[in-house]
Amino acid sequence: MRHFAQPTVFLFPTAAMKIHIALLAALFVAIGPTVSGATTPPTLVPPGVRVAGVNIGGMRPYLARRRIRKVFKHQLRVIVKHGVAWKASPYLFASSAGIGATVQHALSTKPGSRLTLPVAVHKEWVRQYVDYLDHVFSRPALDARFLGLRGLRPAVSSARYGVRVRKALMVRRIERSVAANRRTPIHLALAPVVPAKLRSSFSQPVVVIRRLSNRLYLYKGTRFWRSFGVATGQAAYPTPTGVFSILYMQRWPTWIPPASAWAAGAKPIPPGPGNPLGTRWMALSSPGVGIHGTPDDASIGYSESHGCIRMHIPDAEWLFDHVQAGTQVYIVDA
Write the secondary structure of 177-244 as one string of H (helix), E (strand) and C (coil). HHHCCCCCCEECCEEEECCCCCHHHCCCEEEEEECCCCEEEEEECCEEEEEEECEEECCCCCCCCEEE
Rg (CA), the chain: 49
pLDDT digit string (tens) for 228-255? 999 999 999 999 999 999 999 999 999 9
Active site residue 292: yes
Burial of 2 (0-12, 13-18, 19+ CB in 10 A): exposed
Looking at per-residue pLDDT, the higher value among 296 and 259 belongs to: 296
Q: Is the pLDDT of residue 3 over 50?
A: no
Q: Is the pLDDT of residue 90 over 70?
A: yes
Report DSSP state, residue 253.
P
pLDDT digit string (tens) for 145-169? 999 999 899 999 999 999 999 999 9
pLDDT attached to residue 8: 38
**142: amino acid identity, one letter:** L
Confidence label for 291 from pLDDT (cuts 50, 70 and 90): very high
Confidence label for 14 from pLDDT (cuts 50, 70 and 90): low
pLDDT attached to residue 287: 93
User: Model-level pTM?
Assistant: 0.65
Q: Is the pLDDT of residue 196 over 80?
A: yes
Work out the percent of the chain whose per-residue pLDDT is above 70: 88
Active site residue 122: no
Rounded Cα gap, residues 324 and 312, in angstroms: 19
Closest alpha carbon to 307 in 230, 234, 212: 234
Catalytic residue among 292, 306, 312, 322: 292
